[in-house]
Structure 1
Amino acid sequence: MAHWRALIVLGTAQFLMVLDTSVMNVSISQLVDDFDTEVTAIQAVITLYALMMAAFMAVGAKLGDILGRRRLFLLGLVVYGTGSALTAVAPSVWVLAIGWSVIEGIGAAMVLPAMAALVAESYRDRERAVAYGVIGGLAGAGIAVGPLLGGWVTTYLTWRLVFAGEVVVVVAMLLCHRMVTEAARPGPRPRMDGVGAALSATGLALGVFGVLQSGTWGWIEPRNPPFTVFGFAPTVFVIGASALVLAAFVRWEHRRVAGRRDPLVHLTLLDRPVLRAGLLTMLSQNLILLGLFFAIPLYLQVVQGFDAFQTGLRLLPVSVTMLVASLGASRFARRVAPRTLVRLALLTLAAAIVWLLASIDPSIDDAQFAGAMTLLGLGMGLLVSQLGNVVQSSATEQERSEVGGLQYTAQNLGSALGTALIGSLLIGALAHAFTAHVEDDPRLSEQARQQTSVALQAGISFVPTDQVRTAAEQAGLPPSEVDAVVDSYASAQLQGLKAAILMAGGVTLASFLITARLPARAEAVEPPTVAPAGKGPGKAT
């Protein structure tokens, strides 16, 4: 039993950092009310949290090699706990963004790569597969507990208590620090690549920011941007700038290696097909999951009018089946190849998304919705159970932190893109559908159409239809035209939600293209028998 004590502390860290994301997703409506803001502002806060982790994961991994993984893990917990305390008392959405998105995000970027490396270092072969199955299960538990716990606390007390509770858990983990051990590492410590860190963080931030703003700015035709570029929306230009900065990062890393200096990331690691496929699948997994977990609570809370606890209850099937599937899949992993399990998971996800699309109606059918959620959780549970072991087992002992950084960079970049892309597509589809409905509705006068057009040009948000009714009445529209505007908006809401969910389905199908390089045998993946990255060809055997 003593052998597994470290996993209790390390796994709790994984649980904690999944928990508060799921709490945030289920508390969107309450956060909008508490801070007197819009859904898009909370979307930006959720996206920024994942983006901070994605941008600084590689830095956190390198710091683990420099300072020691155990030391960085504990230091990261202190930073994370500080952010949780600030979040618990946040008086405004800006302080919420600083405490949760920035400080907690940086703390998580310190903790998670070190955690992944410490798990891989502490366990071998089948024990490692079991350990990563437990880590995946605890991630599923965080998603399971988050909506229900967060929903209950948000509805009957306050969401702030969840983050105050996180501080208590962090203190308890720090008191158990002796359970976590780290073997001494021979050789000199690497040095930080400051330029590479700045380039990678800037490039990732620009790309996600461009995607996030696409719903407001438009992709090509300007919708409501702060400025235009040659008459076009700035979205594509911001994403293009991201690509240029990331290209500069790649060139800089190659120069560092050629000059025998430590890079931020040994890019030769990505030459390994198994590692590359595992990372890409992780990215798509989190894009799908976080995208859906942004859109579905909006359907339940804004369209159906459920409170946070009622939302958590309706998300319980996906949470429970994800937990059970992720814990149980480690048994199948001894007999079934990771590639097979991942493909089965993707097929299950695709079927769940089709079922979910059929469930998005003005009046919810609880049984049908629960069935879709159950299938969604099963697919996600199978998926999360496999990829951590595949990625970490494709690295040598010296590469654990660096590969852990790549692993969580992929996951959190997927999370940031999922929230940003699905959210912006939802808002864009809502605006397009609402415009079309208003133009085609014979009950509306030309004056009403013009007033609606002016309101749309000022921006559109995903709000309850009661707010639309109030705005239409305040604009002086007669009752029949108020009803027409509300009906048009309600239909547009459902179309926006279906467009967002359909995008998640498209990503699921596209993910099949990257599974060919996943391990085709059930045996544990062995580390590559090559020199550490940067000192050899870096190819997997």
Structure 2
Amino acid sequence: MGRWKALAVLGTAQFLMVLDTAVMNVSISQLVHDFHTDVTAIQAVITLYALVMAAFMITGGKLGDVLGRRRAFGIGLTVYGIGSLLTAVAPVLWVLALGWSVIEGLGAAIVLPALAALVAGCYQGRERAVAYGIIGGMSGVGIAVGPLLGGWVTTYLTWRLVFAGEVVVVVVLLSLLRWITAPAEAGRRIRLDGIGAGLSALGLALVVLGVLQSSTWGVLRPRNSPFTVFGFSATLFVITAGVVLLTLFVSWERRREAHGLMPLVRLALLRIAPLRAGLIMLLTQSVILLGLFFVIPLYLQVVQGFNAFQTGLRLLPVSVTMLVAALGGSSLARIASPRLLVRCGLVVMLAAICWLLATIRPQIDDLPFALAMALLGLGMGLLASQLGNVVQSSVDEEARSEAGGLQNTAQQFGSSLGTALIGAILIGALAGAFNRQIADNPQISDAVRQQTGVAVESGVKFVPTDQVSAGLAAAGVPADQAQHVVNAYAAAQLDGLKVAILTAGGITLGGLAFTRRLPAERLRTD
């Protein structure tokens, strides 16, 4: 039993890293109310959290080599606890963003690569497969407990208590660090590549920022763009700038290696086919999961009018089956290869998304919705049970921290990209469907149609229909005309949700093409 003590600490830390986002997703409506803002602003805060982790995860992985993995793990937990404390007492939105998105995000960027490397260092063979299954399961527990705990606390107390509780858990974990013993704990004499860290962080940040703001700025034609270039929106230029910086990062890393200097990440690792395939699948999984977990709570809270706790209850099936599948995946790995299990998981997810599309209606039918969500969790759990072990088993002991940094960069970049991309598609589809509904309705006058078109052009938001009705009344739109506009907006909401979910299905289908390089043989368990 003693040798599993380390896993208790590491698994609890993994749980904390997942809990936050789950709590925030079901608390969107309450956060909008508490901070007197809108859904887009909360989307930006949620995206920034994952973005900060993605941007600094490679650097965080290298810190494990510089400081020693256990020490880096402890430092990351301390930073994370400070961010949780600031989040718990945040009086305004920018303090929430600083505490949660920035400080907690930086803490997680140090914790997660060290965690992945420590699991690989503490356990070997069959035990390692079980350990990664449990770590994946703890992610499922975080997703399970997050909506319920966050929903209940948000509805009946305050979401701030969740973050205050995290501070207590962090203190306990820090007191139990002695339970973690792994080889090569001493830090090595390695200089951190500051230029590489800056290029990678800024490049990743700009790419996701461009995707996030595309619904506000416009993709090509500018709407609320902060600047234009040759008459085009800032979106493509911000994304392009990010890609250029990432290209410079790759060139810089190659130059350091050519001069015998330690790079931030050894690019040769990306030539390992199973590692590369595992990273792509981790990114794909995160895009789908976080994209859906941003869209579905909006459907439940904004369209259906459920509170945070009711939303958490309806998300429970996906969480439970994800936990079961993640824990059972290590047993399935004894009889099937990672490639087969991941492909099965993607097919199950695709079937679940198709089923989920059929449940997006004006009035929710709870049983079909619950079954679709349960099937989605089953597919997600199969992926979670395999991919961490695939990545870490692809490299030797010396490269564990770097692989952990790449692993979590892929996950967190996928998370931020998923929230930004699916969110942007949702808003874009909402605007397009709303315009069509207005244009095709002969009972809406030309004057109201023109007035509504101007409002949509300035930026449409995903809000309750009551808010739309109140805005129309304030603008002096006659009651009979206003009702037709509200009905058109309600129909457009459902269309936008379906397009966003269908996009997640397309990404799932596309993911199958990248499974070819996953291990076709069972990973060693001896």
TM-score interval for Structure 1 and Structure 2 normalised by the shorter chain: over 0.9
Q: Cα distance 1:209–1:443, how it changes in 2: closer, same or farther (>3 A)? A: same
Query: How do residues 137-176 of structure 1 correspond to structure 2 at under 5 angstroms?
Result: 137-176=137-176
Query: How do residues 192-203 of structure 1 correspond to structure 2 at under 5 angstroms?
Result: 192-203=192-203
Task: Show the counterpart of 2:335.
Answer: 335
Displacement after TM superposition at 1:129 (Å): 0.4
Task: Show the counterpart of 1:109.
Answer: 109
Are the equivalent residues in 2 in contact too, given 1:443–1:480 (CA < 8 A)? no
Are the equivalent residues in 1 in contact too, given 2:68–2:186 (CA < 8 A)? no
> How far apart in 2 are the matches of 1:370 and 1:505?
18
Are the equivalent residues in 1 in contact too, given 2:117–2:400 (CA < 8 A)? yes
> How far apart in 1 are the matches of 2:404 and 2:144?
24
Are the equivalent residues in 1 in contact too, given 2:68–2:188 (CA < 8 A)? no
CA RMSD of aligned residues (A): 1.1
Are the equivalent residues in 1 in contact too, given 2:253–2:263 (CA < 8 A)? yes
Displacement after TM superposition at 1:226 (Å): 2.1
Task: Show the counterpart of 1:478.
Answer: 478
Task: Show the counterpart of 2:400.
Answer: 400
Query: How do residues 296-375 of structure 1 correspond to structure 2 at under 5 angstroms?
Result: 296-375=296-375
User: Are 2:499 and 1:520 aligned?
Assistant: no
User: Are 2:414 and 1:414 aligned?
Assistant: yes
> How far apart in 1 are the matches of 2:303 and 2:177?
46
Query: How do residues 10-409 of structure 1 correspond to structure 2 at under 5 angstroms?
Result: 10-184=10-184, 188-409=188-409
> How far apart in 2 are the matches of 1:342 and 1:372?
19
- AA aligned to 2:485 is V
Displacement after TM superposition at 1:185 (Å): 5.8
- AA aligned to 2:258 is A
What per-residue deviation string (whole Å, max 9, x for no partner) do you get for residues 447-479 of structure 1?
Answer: 101211221232211100000011111111111
Task: Show the counterpart of 1:432.
Answer: 432
The answer for unaligned runs of 5 or more in structure 2 is none
> How far apart in 1 are the matches of 2:59 and 2:469?
49
What per-residue deviation string (whole Å, max 9, x for no partner) do you get for residues 91-149 of structure 1?
Answer: 11110000000000000001010111111000001110000000000010000110011
Displacement after TM superposition at 1:200 (Å): 0.3
Are the equivalent residues in 2 in contact too, given 1:61–1:114 (CA < 8 A)? yes
Task: Show the counterpart of 2:6.
Answer: 6
> How far apart in 1 are the matches of 2:354 and 2:330?
27
Are the equivalent residues in 1 in contact too, given 2:65–2:187 (CA < 8 A)? no
What per-residue deviation string (whole Å, max 9, x for no partner) do you get for residues 31-75 of structure 1?
Answer: 011101010101000100001001101111111101111001001
> How far apart in 2 are the matches of 1:225 and 1:491?
28
> How far apart in 1 are the matches of 2:369 and 2:178?
45
- Secondary structure of residue in 2 paired with 1:77: helix
- AA aligned to 1:308 is A
What per-residue deviation string (whole Å, max 9, x for no partner) do you get for residues 183-236 of structure 1?
Answer: 346895221000000000010000000000011111112232122211111111
> How far apart in 2 are the matches of 1:254 and 1:335?
41
Are the equivalent residues in 1 in contact too, given 2:70–2:114 (CA < 8 A)? yes
- AA aligned to 1:133 is G
Displacement after TM superposition at 1:525 (Å): 8.3
Are the equivalent residues in 1 in contact too, given 2:65–2:188 (CA < 8 A)? no
The farther-off stretch of 385-394 and 445-454 is 445-454
Q: Cα distance 1:273–1:184, how it changes in 2: closer, same or farther (>3 A)? A: closer
- AA aligned to 1:310 is Q
Are the equivalent residues in 2 in contact too, given 1:338–1:521 (CA < 8 A)? yes
> How far apart in 2 are the matches of 1:423 and 1:119?
34
Are the equivalent residues in 1 in contact too, given 2:70–2:185 (CA < 8 A)? no
User: Are 2:452 and 1:463 aligned?
Assistant: no
- AA aligned to 1:437 is Q
- Secondary structure of residue in 2 paired with 1:360: coil
Are the equivalent residues in 1 in contact too, given 2:69–2:185 (CA < 8 A)? no
- AA aligned to 1:145 is V
What per-residue deviation string (whole Å, max 9, x for no partner) do you get for residues 520-539 of structure 1?
Answer: 1123289xxxxxxxxxxxxx
Displacement after TM superposition at 1:358 (Å): 0.5
Q: TM-score, normalised by structure 2?
A: 0.99
> How far apart in 1 are the matches of 2:213 and 2:523?
44
Q: TM-score, normalised by structure 1?
A: 0.96
> How far apart in 1 are the matches of 2:218 and 2:354?
27
> How far apart in 2 are the matches of 1:88 and 1:199?
32
Task: Show the counterpart of 1:530.
Answer: none
Are the equivalent residues in 2 in contact too, given 1:283–1:413 (CA < 8 A)? yes
> How far apart in 1 are the matches of 2:410 and 2:93?
27
Are the equivalent residues in 1 in contact too, given 2:129–2:525 (CA < 8 A)? no
Are the equivalent residues in 2 in contact too, given 1:216–1:428 (CA < 8 A)? no
Are the equivalent residues in 1 in contact too, given 2:67–2:188 (CA < 8 A)? no
Q: Cα distance 1:260–1:504, how it changes in 2: closer, same or farther (>3 A)? A: same
The farther-off stretch of 121-130 and 454-463 is 454-463
Aligned pairs, number: 526
Are the equivalent residues in 2 in contact too, given 1:52–1:102 (CA < 8 A)? yes
- AA aligned to 1:374 is A
What per-residue deviation string (whole Å, max 9, x for no partner) do you get for residues 7-26 of structure 1?
Answer: 00011100011011100011
Are the equivalent residues in 2 in contact too, given 1:16–1:142 (CA < 8 A)? yes
- Secondary structure of residue in 1 paired with 2:17: helix
What per-residue deviation string (whole Å, max 9, x for no partner) do you get for residues 378-426 of structure 1?
Answer: 0111111100000000010000000000000000000000000000110
Q: Cα distance 1:313–1:186, how it changes in 2: closer, same or farther (>3 A)? A: closer
> How far apart in 2 are the matches of 1:21 and 1:149?
12
> How far apart in 2 are the matches of 1:224 and 1:501?
26
> How far apart in 2 are the matches of 1:184 and 1:512?
37
The farther-off stretch of 246-255 and 220-229 is 220-229
> How far apart in 1 are the matches of 2:46 and 2:237?
24
> How far apart in 2 are the matches of 1:351 and 1:189?
50
- Identity, % of aligned pairs? 67
> How far apart in 2 are the matches of 1:187 and 1:240?
37
- AA aligned to 2:463 is V
> How far apart in 1 are the matches of 2:432 and 2:252?
42
